[in-house]
Structure 1
Amino acid sequence: MSDANVRIPEEAKDRLAAIAASEGLSLRAYLARLADTLLTPQERAERAERARAALQEWTGYAPSAAEQQDLDTELDRRLAEAMGR
C-alpha cells in the first residue's frame, strides 16, 4: 500500500496522534481504521435507499416527497425544541 501526505493543522495532528496512542495504534493505523469505518456520501445514500425500500416492503408505507418534507420539517422543529433553541 502506498502512503499519502495530508496537510492538516499541527493541533489536529497532535490530537489525532494522542487518540491513536491511547488506543495502542500509530497515527497511520488509526487513520486507516477510521477511514474503513466511515461511509462516503454515496455509500450513505445507497444504504438509506435500501432501508427505505425495505421499510416500504415491510410496512407498505411510502410517503410522497411533500409528506417526507413535512416530516423532516417537524423532526427538525422537535430537535431544535429539545436542544433549547
Structure 2
Amino acid sequence: MSDANVRIPEEAKDRLAAIAAAEGLSLRAYLARLAETLLTPAERAERAEKARTALKKWNGYAPTAGQQRDLDSELDRRLAQVTDR
C-alpha cells in the first residue's frame, strides 16, 4: 500500500494522534481504520434508498417530496428547541 501526504492544521493532527494513541494505534493505522468506517455521499444515498424501499415494502410508508420537506422542517424545529435549552 502506498502512502499519501495530507496537509491539515497542526492542532487537528495532534488531536487525531492523541485519539489514536489512546486506542493503541499509530496515527496512520487510526486514519486507515477511520476511512474504512465512513461512508461516501454515494454510499449514504444508496443505503438511504434501500432503507426507503424496505420501509415502503414493510408498511407502505412512502412520503412525497413535500411531506418529506415538512417532516425535515419539523425535525429541525424540534432539534432547535432541544439545543436552545
The aligned residue for residue 43 of structure 1 is 43
Unaligned runs of 5+ in 1: none
d(CA) in 2 for partners of 1:18, 1:75: 35
The CA deviation at 1:84 is 1.5
Aligned length: 85
The root-mean-square deviation of aligned C-alpha atoms, in Å, is 1.0
Q: TM-score, normalised by structure 1?
A: 0.95
Runs of 4+ in 1 over 4 A off after TM superposition: none
1:26 aligns with 2:26: yes
Unaligned runs of 5+ in 2: none
Determine what percentage of the aligned residue pairs are the same residue.
Answer: 80
TM-score (norm 2): 0.95
